[in-house]
Amino acid sequence: MRRIRARNFIRDSITLAAIGMAATGAVCEAAADQNLAPAVNVAGDKVLKFDWPEVQIGTGEYAEGPTGVTVFRFPRKAMGVVDVRGGAPGTVMTDYLRLGYESPDIDAIVFSGGSAYGLETTTAVATALKDDNIRNGFWNNTAVTAGAIIYDFGDRRLNEVYPDKKLAQAALRAAQPGVFPQGAQGAGRFARTGGFFNCGSYSGQGGAFRQIGNIKIATFVVLNAGGLITTRDGKIAACYDDASWPKALKTTDLLAAIPLSRKAGWNGVPRGGDNKNTTISLVVTNQKLSNAELQRLAVQVHTSMARAIQPFATVSDGDVLYAISTAETGNERGAGGRSASDLNNELGTADLGAIASEMMWDSILASIPDQPKAVAPSRDYKPQGRDIAAFAGKYVFSPFVTLEIKVDGDRLFALATGERPAYAIGKDKPVELLPVSPGYFTVPDRYPLTLRFDGPGRLIVNPGHWQQLGLRG
Amino acid sequence: MRRIRARNFIRDSITLAAIGMAATGAVCEAAADQNLAPAVNVAGDKVLKFDWPEVQIGTGEYAEGPTGVTVFRFPRKAMGVVDVRGGAPGTVMTDYLRLGYESPDIDAIVFSGGSAYGLETTTAVATALKDDNIRNGFWNNTAVTAGAIIYDFGDRRLNEVYPDKKLAQAALRAAQPGVFPQGAQGAGRFARTGGFFNCGSYSGQGGAFRQIGNIKIATFVVLNAGGLITTRDGKIAACYDDASWPKALKTTDLLAAIPLSRKAGWNGVPRGGDNKNTTISLVVTNQKLSNAELQRLAVQVHTSMARAIQPFATVSDGDVLYAISTAETGNERGAGGRSASDLNNELGTADLGAIASEMMWDSILASIPDQPKAVAPSRDYKPQGRDIAAFAGKYVFSPFVTLEIKVDGDRLFALATGERPAYAIGKDKPVELLPVSPGYFTVPDRYPLTLRFDGPGRLIVNPGHWQQLGLRG
Amino acid sequence: MRRIRARNFIRDSITLAAIGMAATGAVCEAAADQNLAPAVNVAGDKVLKFDWPEVQIGTGEYAEGPTGVTVFRFPRKAMGVVDVRGGAPGTVMTDYLRLGYESPDIDAIVFSGGSAYGLETTTAVATALKDDNIRNGFWNNTAVTAGAIIYDFGDRRLNEVYPDKKLAQAALRAAQPGVFPQGAQGAGRFARTGGFFNCGSYSGQGGAFRQIGNIKIATFVVLNAGGLITTRDGKIAACYDDASWPKALKTTDLLAAIPLSRKAGWNGVPRGGDNKNTTISLVVTNQKLSNAELQRLAVQVHTSMARAIQPFATVSDGDVLYAISTAETGNERGAGGRSASDLNNELGTADLGAIASEMMWDSILASIPDQPKAVAPSRDYKPQGRDIAAFAGKYVFSPFVTLEIKVDGDRLFALATGERPAYAIGKDKPVELLPVSPGYFTVPDRYPLTLRFDGPGRLIVNPGHWQQLGLRG
Amino acid sequence: MRRIRARNFIRDSITLAAIGMAATGAVCEAAADQNLAPAVNVAGDKVLKFDWPEVQIGTGEYAEGPTGVTVFRFPRKAMGVVDVRGGAPGTVMTDYLRLGYESPDIDAIVFSGGSAYGLETTTAVATALKDDNIRNGFWNNTAVTAGAIIYDFGDRRLNEVYPDKKLAQAALRAAQPGVFPQGAQGAGRFARTGGFFNCGSYSGQGGAFRQIGNIKIATFVVLNAGGLITTRDGKIAACYDDASWPKALKTTDLLAAIPLSRKAGWNGVPRGGDNKNTTISLVVTNQKLSNAELQRLAVQVHTSMARAIQPFATVSDGDVLYAISTAETGNERGAGGRSASDLNNELGTADLGAIASEMMWDSILASIPDQPKAVAPSRDYKPQGRDIAAFAGKYVFSPFVTLEIKVDGDRLFALATGERPAYAIGKDKPVELLPVSPGYFTVPDRYPLTLRFDGPGRLIVNPGHWQQLGLRG
């Protein structure tokens, strides 16, 4: 349903974008905007549901990217802290969160794709709360939103659509309690993982919820890590293996082989390209904690994620974790490590942290969508030149990616003629597109790459959940 | 010229806003936006001009607020650091600035009114650079903008218009090098100072530029401080004195009297209301500094501002200073305190800091606009009832401020009938408006307060630079 | 050899200590000092050896504690950074390390037992370098030492001897390159692990060294963690299991059972007592890194330790990691994530971090000493009253631990009559000491507990590496 | 009285030191210690007295340096925070203070001379509290001390005696409530100020106390600033002016002249030498504050010091301020800026900060001792060669400063023959000592320099409060 609606506006928006972007550098308000139609609350196949009115969630997506945003709203405000790791964070309003106030200030935590541009979604949620008269300009009723972003551009993307003000505000306005789409949805719409070993696998967003006595805990993650998602028994949860790798590799094997791998030209860290990876995460509890305790919780859980993502918190990861207490249960307490006094209403901070850490591991595992499988060329279907002649032409995906499709006899070839290549289709020499079925082709590679000629003048790369569209110029 | 244009759209926009805002909480995209027309590069009376292509400045304003934004763009990117003080900062992207990288990452520093809502301007500048194809989504060409905001709402404002995406992008696109409007312009459009002693005086934004040999330094400040702006000889630069104060008070006198003043009910810290004050500032130099040195410069200059603003960096101030090096001159150097080696190209870090600190003091003084003077009621002009009958009615300034004007014989009275009062016009009992000239009235008070009935159904409070408009319902 | 020498002075020092401490609160210089004789460079059974002149290591111990100190000296100074986690750090000189200077400032990193008192060892190393005229008072030749401590007091200790100035300076002066004792040595002399699940197992200090091309890396850890040391296949490396636990529990099983365990009174977090746990660690490389890169390395490796210690970085852990670059190889480089350019001389920061993280895991595993086994009471040896009569009396271990040994017929009983209990020997009712062999007894418990009457008036608890001595009053 | 006692041991200790230090680099415990006798609670001429049992103060000095330590003890522990500024801090235990716990943890704040070596005094106070059985090894009763140091070495010092463990413990044990020596005492024993303009004037430690209703506030500072101490009317409080300076210069004049001065060779920043300056300070209040409020107080007061010290917080200043709340009065309160509710028991945080800032200014002014005046050569006293012959010889001040005194006819000359010069007595050519009175000479210079031959084989440089002694070899 969603996808059909999305397709309806793909054409126009892409066209508009192409035109607008052609006016490079011009000061042109109309063209400058992305001018896309948001799709909100895309549930996806897997949805985490839980009963907690104080945690409202809204997701928004631009199918054109694809990319998206996830908004966590706390309707009565809540106390929040932040723990920033790694070498490339993009954040909003974190200085305020470091002041240690015991007051409930936070209206929403906003996670987004779009690299630094996606930070627009965090500020947009604040202004939407103002525009909608939910918050106003009194200093003690000002909307306070904090957020962080992932880098979902680079070699994965044939355009640079980013989540913007319009998308974030639509997501906020559609937010509802207790519904969280798992997988490649929301801010995790086009996340990937394992780039440290060139895995190129898809990831997304994941969540977990648990209630112990009266204490509720939820953990959420948008995972775009360079590291390998690792199961509790050490297995790699998602990776397009290199052909040379032995079977049944574990994470520890790949880590042990780093020095060797780098030397031998074995697959390793991407060289020069797509090396910005980030995992952004959120822990929410209804237990009342002091600000210092909540900060300890944040540090403990964030650190624990190094088990499920290996390596983690590197110079290329801008990892950020927020922790929120809605303070609905638990007693007034001092600081320091406290043992559990009433297990229905209060857990010790370290216990709470250990439990939330396990839940975060679950969230990380839940963030992995079903991976597209490689499609083999057909053994039977052999198109003739006349079958494919209509596919020839230059397909524009964005101002910097254009694919030129040429017919040579009965064979079809693709060449990237814009600034940038498109996956295995480079700029130097044409790559043959091998037929799978009428209008549907593949390029054998470590990573699945398929192309579908979808009606007149439309070329869809990797048709399916992560598809991107080019229009013949 | 500008103001005339502004008036043209005031009516409609205010009307729209009033309608839109009445639909409280409704998910209504059209109404939710502020829907105002930006005015950019408003020069004002005093303009600082200097020759430095690498520092481009754009300002934007909404006359309806009034409120505004100031964008400092570094067209070839520059290295930046941040120093955050005080108890109420609102910031974007500061975590990245703390990583210590020696690389030029920053595209722009954005200062804004509008409290937390004004942070939308910082993110908007990044997305405008993307939308205009000046930056893109490659990780090493992503637009990075950092910013901070002041709180220009509260008892000074009869509406809550805030600087938004549209305004910031217009300001960016109009930016030009070496032109900086001084006073109540840009982000300092409706700043005030001295609230710690209830001064209620206007402030704004100020700048200073100096070249020593080849070394260029510029300092900028948007000053919305609770503290008193203080001259180098200890005088209070701007304050509406309390009637009980002795003449020729100096800053040090008021500070010494704090305990006494609070006890005796003498004027003191505003109780409960408008206690969010912030000074945001920027130091730029073309000298190449290491990241650590630039951080030391930031700390030194920020700390020095406690001389010119007293008190400074309190729990109610969200003071933030950014420091930028465009690295156009100077040699590669190590860290630590270094003496000057070549005074044409390089100053020691402490010297540079001391010079910039003096310049920042100059900037602070330059931020003060001419203060409106109190207007005395006319001794001669005594209107009759028929002269003022047409002024009666309810004037709506915003969803929460409405002034009801009533005629009682030959006298005119005003009462605030919305949620909030309007300066000396409270909600409890009508205040008499004393005539100054036809259609022009005043309410004697510590702070100048005048009202002009400006054509049919329009009431302007404090006509002039800081005017705010109400429309008869 | 060492232990025999230690025994020679145990008697006097304990006696002195007991007397001195009896003069509670008196201002008495002579008695106030610990007055113990240091033992240095105790190699232990397992020693890590490596070839690196720039990394000198000295360890010192007080057998009376037992407790100790480990000094890492960089004879030509080196650049250092720090990453602090968890809720109970004890540190010296870390603010300086956060300034980002690119200069080699650090003379030594000092790790110590003794909780906050052990910080005396860090400052003592600086003053020893001054006293020995290796460093002086010129600002650019001042000895700079940074350090951290573990909490090796509490219920494990029958006295409160701590590593002091004398011990640290002796350890420094005995330092030599490339020799690092593994296990319960130096600062890890009386470390424990697994307290989060009441494991009560012994840990210590561990190290690892690796050379890749010209690049040298060493990792060291002093591990006193509440968390479980976990192997790469998820097993618990050291724990005295609770009797109720199923066989072959893995770390993940215990973590999953936290909520249940706390509720059911199953073994869990120690209640009230010994809840300060800390892991302090050090990464050293000879690769030249920028300060920002070295900081990224520190964060990455520190975070990775959450795999080998679970949970990690809790409110009760004062975890601190230092990272040092001796800058002996590698090129001048910028910041940010860099891919490997010359694998003999330079690794990318993330690669370096991933490799060091694996080495730190190895160091953690290497920190575990052989655990004492429980000793079963003898089936054959049944002493008569006359055989044990001479053991009766009050044995003083410290001003707050005294064991009263009583004979009742042919049975021997122990009661703690001082302020504090001694392991399973409480203050409320006598505990029977079951005979193992003449003069040697055990108390069956989750944790091994043995007592040896060692000559006239001497009682050794847990004779062996972790023994503590009481003298009959 | 004190000074006489000091003289008694000067000879021996200096001799021992000279011998010990000759054994350069030897591992020699006996010689390695400083082996000096502490003098404690040196009241000086000016003493601040106040009534506050919860604030105990002890000072200790080594006359041989001279140098010293100041201990502030809070006998029932108190909550503390820290604010670190500038580019060269030396600190202990500050990480713990940043965790935001609401608990009273701090036993003492310790300020010391001796650069990094002086940090030994902070750790020594903790171990003394342990050795004296005031604190023990239970995690919630461990002595926690934090501290900071100033750099009182460099060109001011003819030896490098530093405050050590023995001195600090003596100072602690002699601490008493409500007595604070002002001026060149304790940690401020040999502080200087104004080095940024080569002032070379003496400073020291200063304090102020005030009670408002039930609220007590005390501020203390040990001032070793490069900046100029400035009065409230802008005057320079202490500086040996350069001969070329106009009369009645104000601080603002010197600051304005920096660029010019550096260019013209006019007096400016010390080149290469003594450029480590630090101001360490302490605010104590008995008002109960949240940890976040106390942190705000620290930031506000620390920043305010830029008024009284100009410039402040430069790359060469390692400024550190601690703030302590003994929580004896005031109500439980939330965070944020709070207005005063009950002026007898509670001040708003910003008010408290403003008041403490004024007090800190007073403390800074109180830190200035009477400056020694230059002594003019006598017009009348003209010694003959036989009068001065006995003065010839080599006087050893330390392993690196030796003055050779030579007689040439009736004139006396001095040459520095060790590693370092001694003030105006350089290493290149002899400087004539001009007679003042028998045995008393002067060297005319910007800074007062006198020498007294004090009995056989003793040469005192700058006899008086800051004297340093050399012994003929």
A354: helix, strand or coil:
helix
Calculate how close chain A gets to B21, using CA atoms only, in Å: 6
Per-residue pLDDT at D269 = 41
* pLDDT given for residue D346 in this prediction: 83
User: Which of B215, B274, B315 is the best residue to mutate to test the D interface, defined by the most D CB atoms within 10 Å of its own CB?
Assistant: B315
Residue from the list A259, A303, A350 with its beta carbon closest to the beta carbon of C315: A350
Q: Using the beta-carbon criterion (under 8 Å), do B334 and C290 form an inter-chain contact?
A: no
φ, ψ at A18 (rounded to 5°): -60, -45
Q: In this structure, what are the phi and psi dihedrals at residue B404, rounded to the nearest 5 degrees?
A: -100, 125
| C337 residue type, one letter | G
pLDDT in tens, B8-32: 223 333 332 322 222 222 222 333 4
Identity of the residue in A100, A102, A290 whose CB atom sits nearest the CB atom of D295: A100
Distances (CA, A) of C367 to A309, A449, C203, C223, C284: 25, 48, 6, 7, 18
The pLDDT score that the predictor gives to residue B41 is 72
How confident is the model at residue C269, as a pLDDT? 41
Whether residue D32 and residue C153 make contact (CB cut-off 8 A), yes or no, is: no
The chains found to touch C (3+ Cβ pairs under 8 angstroms) are A, B, D
Tell me what percent of the residues of chain A surpass a pLDDT of 90. 78
Q: Is the pLDDT of residue A372 over 60?
A: yes
Element spanning D403, H or E: strand D401-408
For residue A381, the SS3 value is: coil
pLDDT at position A264 is: 55
User: Would you call D391 helix, strand, or coil by DSSP?
Assistant: helix
Which residues, 6 or more positions from A99, have their beta carbon under 8 angstroms from its beta carbon?
B87, D292, D295, D296, D335
Express each pLDDT in D1-44 by its tens digit: 223 232 222 333 333 232 222 222 222 233 347 888 888 876 66
Distance CA C312, CA A303 (A): 7
Distance from CA of D350 to the nearest CA of B (A): 5
Q: Is the pLDDT of residue D471 over 90?
A: yes
Query: Residue B247: exposed, middle, or buried by beta-carbon count in 10 A (0-12, 13-18, 19+)?
Result: exposed
Q: Which residue has the tokens 């000629």?
A: A453
Per-residue pLDDT tens for C212-223?
999 999 999 999
pLDDT of B284 reads: 98
CA A106 – CA A145 distance, rounded (Å)? 6
Q: What is the token pair recorded at D212? A: 């408002």
Q: What distance in Å separates the CA atoms of residue C275 and residue D167, rounded to the nearest whole number? A: 34
Contacts of B372 (CB under 8 A, 6+ apart): B202, B448, B462, B464, B465, B466
Across the interface, which of B196, B299, B343 has its CB nearest the CB of D85?
B299
| pLDDT for residue D149 is more than 60 | yes
pLDDT at C332: 45
Region A118-130 average pLDDT: 98
The answer to whether the CB atoms of D99 and A335 lie below 8 A apart is yes
pLDDT score at B21: 28
Residue C108: its H or E element? strand C106-112
pLDDT digits (tens, 9 = 90+) for D32-63: 478 888 888 766 679 999 999 999 999 999 99
Q: What is the CATH number of domain B36-366?
A: 3.60.70.12
Closest CA to D425 of D155, D243, D66: D155
Q: Rounded to an integer, what distance in angstroms lies between the CA atom of residue A51 and that of residue C127?
A: 61
Contacts of B335 in chain C (CB under 8 A): 99-103
Tell me the C-alpha distance between B268 and D340, whole Å: 10
Q: Secondary structure of C170-239 in the HEC alphabet? A: HHHHCCEECEEEEECCHHHCCCEECHHHCCCEECCEEEEEEEECCEEEEEEEEEECCCEEECCCCEECCC
State whether B272 and D339 contact (CB < 8 Å).
Answer: yes
Average of per-residue pLDDT across A287-306: 97
| Residue at C333: amino acid letter | R
Q: Which two tokens stand for residue C262?
A: 């706390």
Options D278, D314, D402, D450, the catalytic residue: D278
Binned at pLDDT 50, 70 and 90, residue A28 comes out as very low
C157, C151, C184, C153: which is closest to C70 by C-alpha?
C184
Higher-scoring residue by pLDDT: D142, C341: D142
pLDDT tens-digit map of A148-193: 999 999 999 999 999 999 999 999 999 999 999 999 999 999 999 9
Query: Residue C94 to residues A130, B16, B299, D109, D298: CA-CA distances in angstroms?
Result: 43, 56, 18, 17, 19
CATH of the structural domain C39-366, one choice from 3.40.50.970, 3.60.70.12, 3.30.56.10, 1.10.1040.10: 3.60.70.12
- D117/C151 CB distance under 8 A: no
Entry pTM: 0.93
Q: How far is CA D46 from the centre of its chain?
A: 16
pLDDT tens column, A193-251: 999 999 999 999 999 999 999 999 999 999 999 999 999 999 999 999 988 888 889 99
CATH assignment of A37-366, among 3.40.50.2300, 3.90.45.10, 3.60.70.12, 3.30.420.40: 3.60.70.12
Per CATH, is D38-366 categorized as 3.60.70.12? yes
Q: Which residues of chain B have pLDDT under 50?
A: 1-32, 267-274, 332-342
- CB pair distance less than 8 Å for B160 and A84: no
Q: Is residue B111 a contact partner of residue B57, using CB atoms and an 8 Å limit?
A: no
CB B108 within 8 A of CB B124: no
Residues 6+ apart with CB under 8 A from D416: D401, D402, D403, D404, D422, D425, D426, D427
Confidence class for position A140, pLDDT limits 50, 70, 90: confident
Cβ pair B291:C292 closer than 8 A:
yes
- For position D343, what pLDDT does the model report? 52
In degrees and rounded to multiples of 5, residue A278 shows phi and psi of -155, 140
Quote the pLDDT of residue C247: 86
Predicted confidence band at A265 (pLDDT cuts at 50, 70, 90)? low
Residues in chain C predicted with pLDDT less than 70, given as ranges, are 1-32, 42-44, 262-275, 331-344
Q: Average of pLDDT values for D385-414?
A: 96
Are B219 and B178 spatial neighbours (Cβ–Cβ below 8 Å)? no
In chain D, the largest separation of any two C-alpha atoms, in whole Å, equals 79
CB A108 within 8 A of CB A120: no
CATH class for domain C385-472?
mainly beta
Residues 6+ positions from C316 with CB-CB distance below 8 Å: A337, A350, C86, C87, C88, C226, C275, C276, C277
CA distance D21 to D400: 10
Quote the longest CA-to-CA distance of chain B.
Answer: 79
Contact assessment for residue B117 and residue A128, using Cβ atoms and an 8 Å cutoff: no
Active site annotation includes D278? yes
> Helix (H, G, I), strand (E, B), or coil: what is residue D277?
strand
Residues in B whose CB is inside 8 Å of some CB of C read 99-103, 290-292, 295-296, 334-336
Whole-number Å distance between alpha carbons of A426 and A413: 11
> Helices C291-304 and C349-366, interaxial angle, to 10°?
40
Is the pLDDT reported for residue D337 higher than 90?
Answer: no
**Phi, psi of A341, rounded to the nearest 5 degrees:** -105, -40
Å from B86 to nearest chain A CA?
A: 9
The whole-number pLDDT of residue C343 equals 52
Does residue A32 carry a pLDDT above 70?
no
Catalogue the long-range contacts made by C340-347 (C-beta closer than 8 Å, 24 or more residues apart): C340/A262, C340/A269, C343/A259, C343/A262, C343/A263, C343/C212, C343/C213, C344/C213, C344/C214, C344/C215, C345/C213, C345/C214, C345/C215, C345/C287, C346/C215, C346/C287, C347/A259, C347/A262, C347/C212, C347/C215, C347/C287
The arithmetic mean of pLDDT across residues D242-268, rounded, is: 79
Place of tokens 């030896």: D159
Q: Where are the domains of chain D?
A: 1-35, 38-366, 385-472
